[in-house]
Structure 1
Amino acid sequence: MTEAVGNQPQYDVFADEYLHHAQAGLFNAHYDRPACLGLLGDVEGATILDAACGPGLYARELASRGAQVIGFDQSPRMVELAQQRVPMGTFRIHDLAHPLDWLDDHAVDRVLFALALEYVDDRIAALREFRRVLRPDGVLVLSRLHPTGDWLRHGGSYFQPRVIDETWSRGWQLRYWLTPLEQTCDELHQAGFLIERLVEPRPDQAAAAIDQDKYDRLHREPTGFLAIRAIPDPRRDASSWSIPRAAVRQARPAVE
């Protein structure tokens, strides 16, 4: 049997606890969010797809910077929380195992895909959908667990993709893919992207007041996250990747 994460909305059972943890926590507020927002650049007037939007923490910041935000998440509760935090945004329940059939080709200026790549089984298909909905001059920003940190924690072969079942310190039970960096780069290539920048971020200075030991470790060891800014490859035509609307399952409605 092929390993798979599956399509259960894992974060749904602790969505409210996650919001409380992530809105000011070191790893989210002072490490990943600054890195992703920095790679997105000036977003005023831009239409941004916040893929796997979680409770809307990135979306709220993007909206405050003048962006129009469209978001989705597999977790119904996360979608509710995102809509509460960003009432001017449009959010819906959607599973990346299915096409973004509710978005037209070239509908958005940027796609943000923060800390969710490892929960997707068919990552190339999902990335191709991002490529399809991006405008030709658009940008994809994604972040993921740093594969070196994954390998240091779990051992085994760094180069062998595998599914990990893990219980995090708060008792959250999660299942996700552990993959080498070269696989992420190759999946982006197969989906029609060119990598413009790859960043191994360090936490901002405010993180030191939260946990000096973690702050110091993340400044010297590749044990946290990494972030990538990718652009559509102009040499490759995304139109052939558009999926006939009649051939896909109807997406669940947006939360108004």
Structure 2
Amino acid sequence: MADSLGATPQYESIADEFLSHARDGFYNAHYDRPACLRLLAQVRGLDVLDAACGPGLYAEELVVRGARVIGFDSSPRMVDLSRQRVPAGDFRVHDLTEPLGWLPDESMDRVLFALALEYVDDRVAMLREFHRVLRPDGALVLSRLHPTGDWLRHGGGYFDVRVVEETYSGGWKLRYWMAPLERTCEELHQAGFLIERLVEPVPEPAVQALDPEDYQLLRREPRGFLAIKAIPDPRRR
């Protein structure tokens, strides 16, 4: 399997299915979204870029919390769904492999990049664009598949950086990059970021009854996601 993904939007053909899955699904609604939103913290009155916005589930919550949201996704259908779901947002089709030329320098207070890092070939170039558009006191919040969970599922060398294919419960076949945690930290460093927090979330006890099996699994093992809050490194300005 070639070690590149290209720019084809893998979620285009499953966008509507993904919305139905992620809207209330345990891993998305009760695990990743709460973790990212906690790291974003207070967003009222802030300009937030929702990169790889998907069907607008994060953007919807950000607007409710008082943010001004600009979002983009490589999937035209995902952008359509975001526009329908969040009329107050400003959404467009844009590929993560391309510069954010339509955004001025230092124009965003926050960048949210949820569960899409692993679908990008040149992650450093993309992260540098996020750094460019962030204000000096801004922050990037990203989440990614937990690298230990990837390794437990796929085997091989934990430290190998490679493309894998996985079939999910909905029958979706997706290709993505496997990489150790150190690689993600190094890519953030190369892009000019300083990691402020790294969170390995666990679901809250209040949601145990929704999915007892996954609740127990995620409380016990790193099989899900992790989330990082990074800031522009003031020492490198």
TM-score category, normalised to shorter length: over 0.9
Counterparts of 1:63-82 in structure 2, within 5 Å, are: 63-82=63-82
Structure 2 equivalent of residue 148 of structure 1 = 148
Counterparts of 1:114-193 in structure 2, within 5 Å, are: 114-193=114-193
Alpha-carbon contact 1:131-1:191 (below 8 Å) kept? yes
For 2:15, give the aligned amino acid: A
Alpha-carbon contact 2:194-2:230 (below 8 Å) kept? yes
Give the TM-score, by structure 1 length: 0.91
Q: Tell me the CA shift for residue 205 of structure 1.
A: 3.0
Higher alpha-carbon deviation: 91-100 or 201-210: 201-210
Counterparts of 1:1-256 in structure 2, within 5 Å, are: 3-237=3-237
Structure 2 unpaired stretches of 5+? none
For 2:25, give the aligned amino acid: G
1:77, 1:208 → 2: CA distance?
A: 33
Alpha-carbon contact 2:2-2:163 (below 8 Å) kept? no
Structure 1 unpaired stretches of 5+? 238-256
For 1:3, give the aligned amino acid: D
Alpha-carbon contact 1:97-1:122 (below 8 Å) kept? yes
Q: Tell me the CA shift for residue 53 of structure 1.
A: 0.2
Q: Tell me the CA shift for residue 206 of structure 1.
A: 4.2
- RMSD in angstroms over aligned alpha carbons? 1.0
1:94, 1:178 → 2: CA distance?
A: 24
Q: Tell me the CA shift for residue 153 of structure 1.
A: 0.4
1:151, 1:234 → 2: CA distance?
A: 34
Q: Tell me the CA shift for residue 61 of structure 1.
A: 0.1
Q: Which has the higher contact order (CA 8 A, sep 6+)?
A: 1
- After superposition, the C-alpha distances for 1:11-53 in whole angstroms (9 at most, x for unaligned) are 0101001001101110000000000000000000000000000
For 1:7, give the aligned amino acid: A
- After superposition, the C-alpha distances for 1:67-110 in whole angstroms (9 at most, x for unaligned) are 00000001000000001111010000000111000000001000
